[in-house]
A and B are shown apart, each in its own frame.
Chain A
């Protein structure tokens, strides 16, 4: 579905992504993990069209995304849930969701929009309860659900989630990841960029590990969960304690 080959992105003389290749196949939940500055967000900016100066290939559904604007990429079927949610705070929950279906609405498919709204409300009952409430007054977890719901309103072929756990309490993170897993089981193809590697690997089919702009590891979630490099760097296993035999 999504095929990236030899992607290079730079900010001036700084190479943020250096020859990265990755792929997402239909129905998969793929996770990209990496520390701050590893190039994860830059990669997503390139996929979403927000960063235009890149080299390499980004092919989605056999079509190159080179030169496409963000709205054109959304029309191709890629919906992104950005880091920090970025919902429309002054608008109500329901209006936020409708904004996600803007392209469908413009085609005059009002019934479809209503059906999708009902589906999202069923998926996230809390949003139904808060339907008329201003989005800015929702809790962090509720805002994340709203952001995911808004992305789903565009009926994406590929849902891209950027750090959905950021700034959320552990219990809420658990709930969000359960939701992501449900979406995957419903057949939604998902690319998940996440610092919380343990949570991401628990639900992913495959994962990629980025380090200073380079892909250093990839494999099934099962393989990466037992990888000592991954454990030390991303799963909270303290390198020094382990080395000193104090674990």
Chain B
């Protein structure tokens, strides 16, 4: 995409133009945004520089739930050509939408991230993402087609079948989560298949921050290069940030998405290079503009310019979180939402429980240790077991990852 070649001055001008257009449209078309402008005593036409966006209030996932389903859309529904759903944090999921123009932009942004990883029209790109990240699967398909690569779209295959497709179809690039890549690697070695049988050159990992050790492990065992992409289900798109060939942090597509790093407590911007919560504002989105959206992800901007010469800002994505969410198999899980569900499903006033991510048969699952109380207690162990199994299954459907609930008498 053209803006990669822009000077910093040209890019900042472009960002200001896009920001002002976005704010004008959001003010005009979305009552939620309009009211927040009025409350801040700042009209869109009075925002004169990119820095002044700090004067606008922050928004978070709870606002998406409150305005479920279409309350934050900035275009008439008939202009929407694609609707995506994310689990949200409360009782309502969060919905985002694309217009035709949005799809064109996202396709180009995903293509930009793929090209930065060296993907060309000579590549065969296979997508393997869990159902909760299926939205991204579609975006990667569109982006890879834009590059001209041959795409094997996202489909639910067993590990064995995935390995077969990887080998027989001569896949060169795999887009997946860390967990699935590790499972694939284990399966490959367990079934005594040599990585040299495969044409795989690179794996693009999405969904969660990945440590250097985890990357090294994949690189050494699979003889591949690993690239990280950053995305959000709410923005909506998978390639907000991406690594280039130099692997020195992730470039943010800041010509289309304006990033800020704030202190999650004081909500003030932190100094360049300091860690904080990543806050994003869409600059080009027609259907679903988000203004100062708190991602909950911790990151820090990198001071040093990348050797690739790109004018896009770079960040390091940190494993900590600024919110109370956890990431399982690349999918964000809201602890509050889980508790809300348990409260309703089990009829308890305030479920006491502990949640953690555990590995079970290669999969990552949400393990919930639930304190049994009088309201939950039953003489019939079978009934209790059945209730827990039913609740686990329904909760898994809601949040998109497997759930295992165990009962405990001990206070946590």
Contacts and interface: CB of A to CB of B under 8 A. Distances in A.
Contact of A214 (B16, B24, B286): B24
B24 A216 contact: yes
B14 A23 contact: yes
B101 A219 contact: yes
A192 B47 CA distance: 26
Contact of B75 (A25, A208, A215, A228): A228
Contacts of A211: 24
Interface stretch (A14-22, A111-119, A133-141, A193-201): A14-22
B101 A22 contact: no
A122 interface: no
A218 B17 contact: yes
> B interface, by DSSP: helix, strand, loop or mixed?
helix
A147 B10 CA distance: 31
A215 B24 CA distance: 7
Given A226-B104, A227-B100, A228-B75, A18 B10 contact: no
Nearest to A242: B78
A227 B48 contact: no
B128 interface: no
Contacts of B286: 217, 227, 229
Given A218-B17, A228-B99, A18 B75 contact: no
B17 A217 contact: no
B269 interface: no
B89 interface: no
Given A19-B46, A218-B17, A226 B24 contact: no
Given A216-B24, A217-B21, A228-B79, A21 B13 contact: yes
Given A3-B13, A23-B10, A228-B99, A218 B21 contact: yes
Contacts of A3: 13
Contacts of B24: 211, 214-216
A218 B256 CA distance: 12
B100 A6 contact: no
A19 B48 contact: yes
Interface in A224-247: 224, 226-229, 242-243
Contacts of B105: 219, 223
A31 to B, nearest CB: 14
B10 to A, nearest CB: 7
18 contacts: A5-B16, A5-B48, A19-B48, A21-B16, A23-B13, A208-B17, A215-B21, A216-B25, A216-B28, A217-B21, A223-B104, A223-B105, A226-B101, A227-B101, A228-B76, A228-B78, A228-B99, A229-B286
| A-B interface, 9 closest residue pairs, ranked by CB to CB distance from nearest | A19-B45, A228-B79, A226-B100, A223-B101, A18-B45, A227-B101, A21-B17, A6-B48, A214-B24
Given A6-B48, A19-B44, A216-B21, 10 more contacts: A5-B48, A18-B45, A21-B13, A21-B16, A23-B10, A211-B24, A216-B28, A219-B105, A226-B101, A228-B76
